[in-house]
Amino acid sequence: MNDNRYFGASEAELGFLKEIVRMLPAGVTVQDADGELLLVNDAAAAQLGMDGSRPSPDLVPRREACCQALSAGRAVVTEEALHEGATRQVLLTTHRPVRLAGRELLISASSDITEQKNFEDQLFRSAYFDELTGLPSRRVIEHRANSLLAGSRGGDRFALAFLDVDNFKHINDYYGHAVGDALLVELSKRLGRDLRETDMLSRISGDEFLLLLSPIQSQEEVAEFVQSTLERLTAPFFIDGSELFASTSVGISLYPEHGSSFETLRQNADIAMYRIKNDGKGMAAFFDASMEREAQARMKIEQSLRLAILEKRFCCAFQSKVDIRTQAVKGIEALVRLRDDEGVIQAPGSFINLAGELGLIDELTHLVLAEIVKSIDLINETFGAEATISINVAAKQAGKPEFMRNFARALEETGFPQRFMIEVTEDAFVAKSHFQSEILPMFRKLGVGISIDDFGTGYSSLSALADITADEIKIDRSFITDIHKRPRSQGILRAIESLSEALGMTVIAEGLESYEELAYLQAATKIRYAQGYYFSRPIFLEELKLATPASSESRGSVASRPMQQNRQGYSRASGYRR
Ligand code: C2E
Ligand code: MG
Ligand code: MG
């Protein structure tokens, strides 16, 4: 390089060029045929650690690359990863063999692509691995299953299990998302234990996992393995100072019996899982053809529900809340009914959860309110203008500020918001949402009453009741049925009663069906109100009007008494299936 004859350059020009090479932002080196470095500019010295930044740089890879490139006789592009402790530097280097002054030389230019590489890796990880649990993503397991399917020549069997954590939403609502996340991490560790190299566990969404077991010999072997996994989950999880229990429902499909594509196998495992969810959760089931028929039937209900909402084929039945001593009607509860494609009236049990899952329930609640407003004159005529009107709001809706704001506005727009009560289950109160602190005050301001529905069936305890601010508490039917014969229920009733009294809440006994139950309440408790078939079944106002024109005597007292022959709202005439 000191010889400037070849370049025909002046000393000054040469100095200038050398300075430029030295200061180039890319690392430039020149090596001879033995790999010895003849020239190293500043950037290359820094990249290779020859500037004193590292104790003794490892130049062996660079020498090897040099010899390879020279023997190949053409330019080579390589990625070099230089590690120093935990940090990694990645260089993209172009090696170019040249012949200069009769010597074989290698000119190499490197740029630092560490940042770009880190970003690519991060992208790769997020595309193929779940950030929370570190498990492979859906794409990875799908790819694995597909390659098993492609490579299978008869004989090769595998199982695909769909796992869904039970009541995960409750855990998230109750303990908060951080605890929910931590639980998923712990859960995935337990699920992943005892897997073979060839098995794969993947998290495919929120609380759903897919497990690929391959190879397998028999269905029994899979059943046994899944069972032992489920048993492992029964031990409590200790998270953030809380002891949590989590079970998982599992549906399993087998290749080749239950499908020949990943999608079919996944869907069928999902169908089997769905069956377990309905059968009591926390267990496993293999897919079978009857489940497929069930799934199709469910699909049909789903479609018809969407259509019913679209066509507004809903109506309300009303059931009175009665003063058990005077028989006066304190209020009424609107209970939604669906008229299906064939004109048959369906009770909410068959569609309300589905409406919630499909995101149709908000619209349904507004339809109920609209029907009440439309029928308000008839309601007043039948039950009295003082009767409160209760509307059920699902816990899921109660935790959504946007829906609740709209709903509060709609109640206000009726012009008589103080007539209304909203009934929500206790879950809404104990969930870590803003229901108590932000949403309830909004309704209070309008004069809308708050009622705790089905008390005793949810997740709260009696002590949680002390923190709940509501006007009314409805004791679930399961405590009232045969209350006169059940000392344990009697004890619970007394406890709820005295706590409610202390908190200034009105108590309503739900599902009162018999004279004996009524007699017990009257004799042994201070409970004043009840709702149940004994007094009145839910009724349709139109039927009421047709059956017995409301007399002035019946107004304000148990309105259903005069029409016992047709106190329906569920009548055979209307074809209501129970
Ligand atoms: P709920 O709010 O606890 O309503 C009381 C349910 O118990 C009603 O069932 C009623 O018909 C039934 N019931 C009343 N008295 C008796 C009795 O003496 N014996 C028996 N065995 N049952 C009695 P329904 O109408 O089938 O409604 C079921 C549930 O569906 C309601 O329970 C409520 O949670 C929900 N629901 C009803 N309408 C709506 C609505 O508009 N929106 C929402 N989100 N949920 C609703
Ligand atoms: Mg209710
Ligand atoms: Mg109830």
Among all chains, which residue has been given the structure tokens 């899921």?
A: 396
Query: Which residue's alpha carbon is at the smallest distance from atom 27 of ligand 1?
Result: 348
d(CA 375, CA 149): 61
How does DSSP classify residue 549? P
pLDDT at 161 over 90: yes
Q: With a cut of 90, say whether residue 537 has pLDDT above it.
A: yes
Mean pLDDT value of segment 474-480: 95
Whether the predicted pLDDT of 46 surpasses 80: yes
Q: What is the pLDDT of residue 428?
A: 84
SS (H, E, C) 215-268: CCCCHHHHHHHHHHHHHHCCCCEEECCEEECCCEEEEEEEECCCCCCHHHHHHH
3-state secondary structure 372-429: HHHCHHHHHHHHCCCCEEEEECCHHHHCCHHHHHHHHHHHHHCCCHHHEEEEEEHHHH
Rounded CA-CA distance 43/26 in Å is 6
Q: Which residue has the higher pLDDT, 528 or 297?
A: 528
Residue ID of nearest Cα to ligand 1 atom 30:
348
Q: Which of the residue ranges 40-44, 342-346, 419-423 would you say has the lowest mean pLDDT?
A: 342-346
pLDDT of residue 577: 27
- Answer whether 368 contacts ligand 1 (Cβ < 6 A): yes
Q: What is the pLDDT of residues 184-212, one digit of tens each?
A: 999 999 999 989 999 999 999 999 999 99
pLDDT at 74: 86
DSSP string, 7-70: TT--HHHHHHHHHHHHH-SSEEEEE-TT--EEEE-HHHHHHHTTTTTSSS---HHHHHHHHHHH
Q: Is the CB of 538 under 6 A from ligand 1?
A: yes
pLDDT of residue 286: 96
* Beta carbons within 10 angstroms of residue 455's beta carbon: 26
Backbone dihedral angles phi then psi of residue 238, each to the nearest 5 degrees = -105, 110
The 10s digit of each residue's pLDDT in 325-374 is 999 999 999 999 998 878 889 899 988 988 998 889 999 999 999 999 99
Provide the pLDDT for residue 67: 80
For the chain, the average pLDDT equals: 87
Measured distance CA(209)–CA(190) in Å, rounded: 12
Say which residues have a Cβ less than 8 Å from residue 134's Cβ, sequence separation at least 6: none
Q: Is 338 in the pocket of ligand 1 (CB under 6 A)?
A: no
pLDDT of residue 547: 56
Give which of 393, 395, 346, 341 is closest to 368, Cα–Cα.
Answer: 393
- Asked whether 480 lines ligand 1 (CB < 6 A), one says no
Tell me what percent of the residues of the chain surpass a pLDDT of 90: 58
d(CA 160, CA 268): 9
Our mutation pick for probing the ligand 1 site, out of 335, 390, 510, counting the most ligand atoms within 8 A of Cβ, is 335
Cross-strand pairs, 136: 129
At residue 575, the pLDDT reads: 26
**Coil, helix or strand for 532?**
coil
The first and second tokens of residue 366, run together, are: 């507004």
User: d(Cα 578, Cα 571) in Å, to the nearest integer?
Assistant: 10
Domains assigned to the chain: 4-118 (3.30.450.20), 131-287 (3.30.70.270), 300-577 (3.20.20.450)
pLDDT exceeds 90 at position 101: no
pLDDT band for position 459 (50/70/90)?
A: low
513 lines ligand 1 (CB under 6 A): yes
3-state class (DSSP) for residue 285:
strand
Query: Which of the residue ranges 75-89, 152-166, 274-288 would you say has the lowest mean pLDDT?
Result: 75-89
Write the DSSP symbol of residue 484. G
Q: Which helix (H) or strand (E) holds 317?
A: strand 314-323
Distance CA 398, CA 429 (A): 9
Backbone angles phi, psi at 60, to 5 degrees: -60, -50
pLDDT of residue 222: 97
Query: pLDDT tens-digit profile of 236-259?
Result: 999 988 899 999 999 999 999 999
Q: Residue 476 is which amino acid?
A: D
Nearest CA to ligand 1 atom 21: 511
**What is the percent of the chain where pLDDT is above 70?**
91
Give CA 228 to chain center in angstroms: 26
Q: Band of the pLDDT at 550, cuts 50, 70, 90?
A: very low
Please report the sign of the dihedral spanned by the C-alpha atoms of residue 34, residue 38, residue 42, residue 43.
negative
User: Which residues surround the ion ligand 2 when the cut-off is CB under 5 Å?
Assistant: 392, 423, 453
